[in-house]
């Protein structure tokens, strides 16, 4: 009996372990549907149809011009422009309208002498990185994952883990754009500069980005260094390690504690500095992988206080002892779905708030109270260094800021959506109170008043949109929510 009892207990432990490790299985691909959706999985949208770009700017323009004329003439509904639809609030969708899928616009050509690449707007960073890596080069600015399209990155004016750097808009040398009247227009900092400024971070409302010339930088092997600090001291410690004269960090980011016992009160700052002699060399590029144990640890922290305590202990005390050098390209050569939710009843929702550097601690104190009061399940909080954006018209970084990226677990229900909206409005209000703003690719839960406070140029942006596109050929959920024709 004792032996049988032991076997029974052992079986239960094994079953529990299998269930725990099962959370490490990657999220499945979404099944086909008559509706289009985006990364939130909360925007099933019936559309008139999908039209696909072609393989070149010229053939794409030829294919789309008849539809553009019909839309302008009122014979067809408006168009939304999409890549892989990693937005979360319908920014790449238009209800009952057409969706232009830009993904066939592929291609990467690198001018090594001038450190610039010409890339099709439908190309993903996953496709760009190996090409650059073979030349000892790397992207200058991109998101921290590789499965976004170039056109999508430009349309949201992305940023990443790069230190002392403005958003991607600052790296763009030239764009080719298919406008509402069917023309292919070249624009840049000095050529058609007004259009250029509005396309960058313009969410596809000014036309279809066809290709772009972007600056690239030498790849290098980087040494990672870790510093633990109180969030109250984050700005001073970050400045000392990243911004002070003589520092050599090229990339940097912070993780804030998700442990409910010290929620957002503690931070680990990771800096990455080039290893001498490796800049511009051709380094091995590892294949993207989904580490099952890492994913299991992350997913088992959902709605689990002990799981969050375990994760924070590992991030703060164990990871710094076990992490080696990494190349710039390897750092970004990972998919966004690496730790994504795989449960049909739940979804992961991103927020990002751009906070003046010296007021980060003030905002996190307010955010901590809001999150605890609303009972939200915060899964991750990352801090990024974003310098003032002097190029895009709808700039979120209107001064040097820290971008605080937060990932929440949300029930896929009307109650879950209601609670998320209430919390988001409170967090946006807290960001505005310290002179900050919020990122627009995510759920459209801000009030119009909050949007205008965070983006005082919004009304001018909309006026310029309809000056370039008087018939409203290009529309999406962002415009539908916050602008009147």
In tens, the pLDDT along 131-174 reads 999 999 999 999 999 999 999 999 999 999 999 999 999 999 99
For the residues 14-23, what does the mean pLDDT come to?
A: 54
Average the pLDDT over 451-471 and give the result. Answer: 98
pLDDT, tens only, 183-198: 999 999 999 999 999 9
Query: Where do we find the tokens 């375990």?
Result: 310
pLDDT-based confidence at residue 9 (cuts at 50, 70, 90): very low
Average pLDDT, integer, range 111-136: 98
pLDDT at 340: 87
Q: Please indicate whether residue 288 or residue 429 has the higher confidence score (pLDDT).
A: 429
Which residue has 């916050």 as its token pair?
482
Q: Are 158 and 41 in contact (CB under 8 A)?
A: no
> How many alpha carbons fall within 13 Å on the CB side of residue 31?
2
User: Please, which pLDDT band fits residue 25 given cuts at 50, 70 and 90?
Assistant: low
Please give the DSSP secondary-structure letter assigned to residue 90.
Answer: S
pLDDT band at residue 13 using 50, 70 and 90 as cut-offs: very low
Rounded to an integer, the average pLDDT of 346-366 is: 98
Helical (H) or strand (E) element with 383: strand 377-386
What is the C-alpha separation between 456 and 56, in angstroms, rounded?
37
Q: What does the alpha-carbon distance between residue 258 and residue 377 come to, in Å, rounded to a whole number? A: 9
Work out the percent of the chain whose per-residue pLDDT is above 70: 92
**CATH number of the domain located at residue range(s) 221-454 in this protein:** 3.40.462
pLDDT of residue 24: 58
Position 289 scores a pLDDT of 66
* Residue 8: pLDDT band with limits 50, 70, 90: very low
Q: Is the pLDDT of residue 101 over 60?
A: yes
* pLDDT at residue 34, as a whole number: 63
Q: Helix, strand, coil proportions of the chain in percent (round to 5)? A: 35, 25, 40
Q: Show the CA angle centred on residue 389, arms to residues 383 and 395, nearest 5°.
A: 90
Phi, psi dihedral angles at 97 (to 5 degrees):
-110, -170
- What is the residue-averaged pLDDT of the chain? 93
- Which pLDDT band holds residue 10 (cuts at 50, 70, 90)? very low
Of residues 157, 178, 181, the one with CA closest to residue 169: 157
pLDDT for the residue numbered 6: 39
- Write out pLDDT tens, residues 299-337: 999 999 999 999 999 999 999 999 899 999 999 999 988
Of 298, 280, 282, 301, the residue nearest 290 (C-alpha): 298
Residue 16 has pLDDT above 90, yes or no: no
Whole-angstrom distance, CA of residue 137 vs CA of residue 220:
8
pLDDT of residue 294: 85
User: What residue ranges do the domains of the chain occupy?
Assistant: 221-454
Please give the helix or strand (H or E) that residue 101 lies within, else none: strand 98-101
User: What's the pLDDT score for residue 339?
Assistant: 84
Neighbours of 276 (CB within 10 A): 10
**What is the pLDDT at residue 179?**
98
Over residues 46-64, the mean pLDDT reads: 96
Q: What is the distance between the alpha carbons of residues 181 and 338, in angstroms, rounded to a whole number?
A: 40
Is 284's pLDDT higher than 80?
yes
Round to whole Å and give the CA distance between 254 and 361: 13
Terminal Cα distance for the chain, rounded: 78
Structure tokens at 92: 């790449």
């Amino acid at each position: 009996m004792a032996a049988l009892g032991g076997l029974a207990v052992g079986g239960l432990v094994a079953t529990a372990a299998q269930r725990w490790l099962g959370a490490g299985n990657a999220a499945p691909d979404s099944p086909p549907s008559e509706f289009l959706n985006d990364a939130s999985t909360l925007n099933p949208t019936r559309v008139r149809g999908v039209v696909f770009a072609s393989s070149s700017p010229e053939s794409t323009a030829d294919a789309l011009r008849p539809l553009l004329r019909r839309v302008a003439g009122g014979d067809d509904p408006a168009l939304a422009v999409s890549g892989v639809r990693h937005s979360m609030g319908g920014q790449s969708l238009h209800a009952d309208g057409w969706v232009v899928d830009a993904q066939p616009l592929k291609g990467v050509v690198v001018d090594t002498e001038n450190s610039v690449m010409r890339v099709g707007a439908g190309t993903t960073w996953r496709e760009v990185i190996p090409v650059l890596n073979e030349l000892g080069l790397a992207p200058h600015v991109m998101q921290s994952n590789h499965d976004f399209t170039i056109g999508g990155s430009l349309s949201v004016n992305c940023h990443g883990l790069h230190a002392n750097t403005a958003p991607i808009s600052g790296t763009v040398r030239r764009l080719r754009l298919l406008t509402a009247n069917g023309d292919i227009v070249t624009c840049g900092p000095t050529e058609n500069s007004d259009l250029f400024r509005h396309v960058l971070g313009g969410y596809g409302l000014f036309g279809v980005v066809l290709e772009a010339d972007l600056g690239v930088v030498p790849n290098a092997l980087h040494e990672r260094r870790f510093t633990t600090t109180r969030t109250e001291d984050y700005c001073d410690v970050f400045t000392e390690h990243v911004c002070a004269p003589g520092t050599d960090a090229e990339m940097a980011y912070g993780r804030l504690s998700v442990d409910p016992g010290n929620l957002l009160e503690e931070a680990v700052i990771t800096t990455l500095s080039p290893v001498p002699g490796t800049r511009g060399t051709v380094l091995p590029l590892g294949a993207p992988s989904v580490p099952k144990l890492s994913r299991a640890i992350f997913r088992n922290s959902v709605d689990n206080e002990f799981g969050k305590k375990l994760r924070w202990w590992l991030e703060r005390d164990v990871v710094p002892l076990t992490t080696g050098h990494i190349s710039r390209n390897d750092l970004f050569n990972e998919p966004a779905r690496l730790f994504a939710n795989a449960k049909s009843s739940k979804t992961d929702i991103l927020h990002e708030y751009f906070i003046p550097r010296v007021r980060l601690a003030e905002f996190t104190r307010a955010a901590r109270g809001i999150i605890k009061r609303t009972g939200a399940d915060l899964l991750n909080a990352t801090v990024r260094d974003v310098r003032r954006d002097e190029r895009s018209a709808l700039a979120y970084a209107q001064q040097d800021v820290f971008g605080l990226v937060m990932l929440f677990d949300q029930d896929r229900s009307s109650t879950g959506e209601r609670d998320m909206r209430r919390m988001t409005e409170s967090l946006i209000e807290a960001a505005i109170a310290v002179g900050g703003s919020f990122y627009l690719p995510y759920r459209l839960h801000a009030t119009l008043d909050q949007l205008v406070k965070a983006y005082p140029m919004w009304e001018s942006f909309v006026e310029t949109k309809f000056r370039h596109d008087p018939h409203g050929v290009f529309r999406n959920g962002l415009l539908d929510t916050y602008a009147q024709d």
